[in-house]
Structure 1
Amino acid sequence: MLHLALTGNIASGKSTVAALLAQHGATIIDADVLAREAVAPGTPGHDAVVDRFGTQVLAADGTLDRAALRRRVFNDPAARDALNAIVHPAVRRLRDDAVGAARERGDRIVISDIPLLFEVGLEHAFDGVILVDAPESVRRERIVHDRGLSEAEAQSMIEAQWPSDRKRAGATWIVENDGPRDALAPRVAAVWEAIRHLAASREGR
């Protein structure tokens, strides 16, 4: 089984690329989905977050209010580290379970979608890294347009992650997403062909 990582900075279009790769036949393991599972009501992760941050980060139905939690930790590095210390180990266990299940099914190409792959130092744990990238100005415009935030807020979100150049240096494949979706699909298809050939070579075909 070929196990790859997919990453990209905010508003790079990583989720769109993940959906296109799934259409080509990849098994996608989404870190955002796992993160929600890790802190679902009734889990140790949920209890730990509430113990650390209080009931003000809960929605009316008892689930975590992710927006409120994000606001709570965004400009507080100590709080963000505390949250990561709760969530990341649980997500890692869930990812390991999902990868194990994919291996048992005989899936050939498994791609773990991990937004902060480089920031948490996981890039060397995979057979290759796919980076989705777009110029900072394009990503800032997308954040403002799609999320209704100010340019200052968008810039703050961009600066909270590693710069693209640093990630590009560690990527195996780069998908440029600086234009419309109809330009993105053939770029993803080209990367998929390279991945498929790598998987075949590992199988000795």
Structure 2
Amino acid sequence: MSFFKSLFSKKQPITTRTLTKPQDLQINDIFTFGDSFALPQAMRKQQLQVIDIKTLEFKHEHYPQIIGQGSGPQLVYLSFPINPQQLVKFSLLLTRNDVENLFDLDAFSEIFEEPGNARLKPHTNNHHYADMIADEYIQQDFMTTGYKHQEDYRTTTPPQDNAQKHGREFEFYSLSGGKEKRFIDIFIFENGDTDIYLSFLRPANEISELWIKGE
């Protein structure tokens, strides 16, 4: 009986996945940046593989943070905050040496002082991230609370109930410049860990090629 059932049962259609937008990247997929001179050397013409996908959650929105790595140790972060032009936020994680080389540390410390009205000018343009840097940054966020989840919640909502698993809570500070398309984004976690990103908004077509894993 089971033989005849299997013989005459309808075959389920094979679903094929398509990949046309960077916000649909999955772990192990590949993406390549174009050769635009608006991109820093860490991105320009680089081919990267998605090694992780996390979720950044704020009060009124949440969106994925896609982490890519090429042949070297440099990581590139793609995220997709709401913006009218649907631009992608490309980010690089700064080291302490990067921060010291780019900014006056006394001026940088004003970011964390109330009421959060810091203005910051880089004191050099001689840096390998120079193409991402604004001439001046004005503070936008001060102690904004959010959560960083280790899971990908693009198709669901992050846990909202206290009994459920929450992500890592952080305080978020940000400054913008370059017609609000260049940013310094700072995440301070409960244990004191601090991530400082240099970011800018760019069109999605700065990523010239996308490949599905295994193809």
TM-score by length of 1: 0.25
Q: Which structure has the highest helix share of the two?
A: 1
- Rg comparison, structure with higher value: 2
